[in-house]
Amino acid sequence: MKRTSRDIRTANRYEVLRQIIAESPTSRQELAAATGLSLATVATLVGELLDLGLLTEVGFEDSAGGRPRGLVAVNASGGALIGVDIAETYVRVELFDLALNVLARADEDMRPGESRPAQVVGHVATAVDSVVAQAGVECARVLGVGVSVPGQVDRATGIAEYAPNWDWHDVPLLGLLSEQISHPLYLDNPLRACAVAELWFGAARGRGDAVVVNLGTGVGAGLALGGGLHRGVSNSAGEWGHTTLVLDGRLCHCGNHGCVETYVGAPGIMLNLRELSPRSPLLHPEDQTATIDALARGVAAQDPVAVKVVRDTARYLGAGIADLVNLLNPEVVVLSSWVAAALGEPLLEEVREAVARHALQRPLAATEIVLSPIPTDPVCLGAATFALEGALSSITQKANQRSNRRTWSKQ
């Protein structure tokens, strides 16, 4: 798990590509200034990315008095990436160009009970076919499909080890998907997808240590430490939703009591509402999305019950986020995923106040708390980013093998 010079090279390659995606066209000189890398390192990495067809040369700009500088940009049409967000109540699939613009989207609803692996795989395959057809890209140009599934996943084997909301245990998800999808597949979970989306394209970009709090049906905290994703020894770091906030509190489906998720996940927020006002018209008992949307509208209309529920939720959330601030001392905490997007600024303000009541002065002073600035589904974007990272690493592995062979043949 120690970082090696190869890890650093990979991180630098990501950093340069991130910067070019954020700002194209650009010159090697601008890239060196923006990333803090040497011009020689940037030139090498840009050369590799040009060779791989991920970048393209787009002309020259004058530099005052010097030689004209070559400009590069993302070769947006050089390939396509697909991100799959398997959530508790829906499957969403998006197809991206290499600049990570959304070219096509497909949604499949999943009714309660419709959660057997074969059913979920069917929805994913249908939606993947749909986005490829909609975008009219050739199959060979799809560099990979990133798949996010809730719960604990083993990336190496492609197994969904434990999805608590569906009671899945050791489902060989990638194997099942590969029977119907021929593109390279990469499995991970939503908390890490949201974190990598922020790291590449959102509020964690260029920050040292960031925590991406993922608020959906499930709850987690993706950890971007030292500029990279902290995965832990068995790729299950970030299960903040199952840390104890109230000892002996609400029973959680994980078996523990008082988990953060039971107070601030969508079902937990519904319970906060039900405990306050059992017959509230805001409550849609079988529909998380409708309830959260009703709460958001209620807060906008200054409905006292909605205001109180968001305040109570923010109080739990603030105590939990203060724990992350005290433990990890991050530069930024990002509130991400659909519940955070729906409740927005009013939630953020209450959370900031609650964190300030709980956290220690010194780490609090160093931490900013923000809403995710990513305008699309961050889980799809993050899943597509895993596919981009996977494609980059498999391409560069091949390049290394070629250059090793060349070295060998010279001896």
* Nearest distance in Å: CB 49, its own copies: 20
Residue 150 in contact with its own copies, rule: CB under 8 A:
no
CA distance 152 to 411: 47
* Nearest distance in Å: CB 315, its own copies: 9
Among 174, 191, 212, 252, binds Zn ion (CB under 5 A): 252
DSSP state of 324: H
Given a contact cutoff of 8 angstroms between Cβ atoms, the answer to whether 69 and 58 are in contact is: no
Residue 369 in contact with its own copies, rule: CB under 8 A:
no
Task: HSE, CB side, 13 Å, CA atoms: give it for residue 40.
Answer: 0
* Nearest distance in Å: CB 152, its own copies: 4
Phi-psi domain of 8 (left: phi exceeds 0; alpha: psi -120 through 50; beta: other): alpha
Residue 208 in contact with its own copies, rule: CB under 8 A:
yes
Q: How far is C-alpha 102 from the chain's CA centre? A: 15
In the block, tokens 């997007």 appear at: 341
Residues facing 79 on adjacent strands: none
* Nearest distance in Å: CB 126, its own copies: 30
Query: How many residues at the interface with Zn ion, by CB under 5 A?
Result: 5
DSSP state of 392: H
* Nearest distance in Å: CB 169, its own copies: 9
- Cβ proximity to its own copies, 181 vs 322, nearer residue: 322
* Nearest distance in Å: CB 195, its own copies: 13
Residues facing 334 on adjacent strands: 212, 370
Residue 246 in contact with Zn ion, rule: CB under 5 A:
no
| Interface segment toward Zn ion; rule CB under 5 A; list 50-58, 108-116, 234-242, 340-348 | 234-242
Query: Quick one: angle between helices 288-300 and 304-328, nearest 10?
Result: 100
Lookup: tokens for 10: 């990979």
In residues, how long is the chain?
A: 411
Distances (CA, A) of 150 to 234, 343, 362: 16, 22, 34
Among 360, 373, 397, 402, binds its own copies (CB under 8 A): 360
**Which of positions 212-231 make contact with its own copies (CB under 8 A)?**
221, 223, 225-227, 230-231
Residue 110 in contact with Zn ion, rule: CB under 5 A:
no
Pairing of strands 159-163, 168-171: antiparallel
Among 29, 44, 77, 236, binds its own copies (CB under 8 A): 236
**Which of positions 257-296 make contact with Zn ion (CB under 5 A)?**
259
Given a contact cutoff of 8 angstroms between Cβ atoms, the answer to whether 216 and 235 are in contact is: no
- Site residues for its own copies per CB under 8 A: 1-5, 8, 11, 36, 152, 161-162, 207-209, 221, 223, 225-227, 230-240, 242-247, 249, 254, 256, 258, 316, 319-320, 322-323, 326-331, 357-358, 360-363, 365-367
